[in-house]
Amino acid sequence: MCGNSASIEQLVSDLKTSLPAEPGVDIAVFPPTVYLGSVLSGLAGSPVAVGGQNVCDQPSDGAFTGEVSALMLADIGCRYVIVGHSERRAIYGESSEQVAEKAKQALLQGLVPLVCVGETESQRDEGATLDVISAQLKPIFSALSLEQLQSIVIAYEPVWAIGTGKTASPSQAQEVHAFIRALFAEKDQQLAKGLRILYGGSVKAASAGELFAQADIDGGLVGGASLDAQEFSAICRAAE
């Protein structure tokens, strides 16, 4: 929940000048809902896609005051949406079952859901990281068909590394990413090979190259660093 009209307009302008015209990777930005329209307009014709930070877990129409449906996001031109971000899980109590339903609603409207999973510091200290990840993904496997699973993106965000300045070491991140891919391989080998798994724990330009060099890290879900166009552009280049 950052920015205002002026700062976001400036950031969009800076992104357009700092990013390559034809990047070798997929790039998407996720502004606050009230600024989606202006960002979509500002990035029209650029290689940068736009997505929502959250979506309702209910069907497209109904009495759900304050919610934004997948149909609404798709209608204005969004291509992606984040579901299950650690802040939504921790602050608003969203369950993994709700996250799975949000992903399903997004897919039904042609959006690509970025499904976030990750452990807290205490869970890591207890050696429960992989169990937590498995439990968070179980409802996804139950709610989505094999065809639908082929259209999602997973983002591993160790909660202890978000906004703290801490970053999982490349080997720590790779271990979890490899585990996630193995879970998908149990469903289908080709599904696992094509799955994109992003790392989302205080990604910075200085650490991006080494992280993205890991076998099972396919890109980043960038937080605070995305508010600096030059830093964000450097991260995008590291992923190429």
3-state secondary structure the chain: CCCCHHHHHHHHHHHHHHCCCCCCCCEEECCCHHHHHHHHHHCCCCCEEEEECCCCCCCCCCCCCCCCCHHHHHHHCCCEEEECCHHHHHHHCCCHHHHHHHHHHHHHCCCEEEEEECCCHHHHHCCCHHHHHHHHHHHHHHHCCHHHHCCCEEEECCHHHCCCCCCCCHHHHHHHHHHHHHHHHHHCHHHHHHCEEEECCCCCHHHHHHHHCCCCCCEECCCHHHHCHHHHHHHHHHCC
Q: Which of 94, 157, 177, 231 is catalytic?
A: 157
Q: Is 7 annotated as a binding residue?
A: no
Q: Is 93 annotated as a binding residue?
A: no
Q: Is 224 annotated as a binding residue?
A: yes
Q: Which of 85, 101, 119, 177 is catalytic?
A: 85
Q: Is 194 annotated as a binding residue?
A: no
Is 85 a known active-site residue?
Answer: yes
Is 157 a known active-site residue?
Answer: yes
Q: What residues are annotated to the active site?
A: 85, 157
The binding site for substrate consists of 163, 202, 223-224
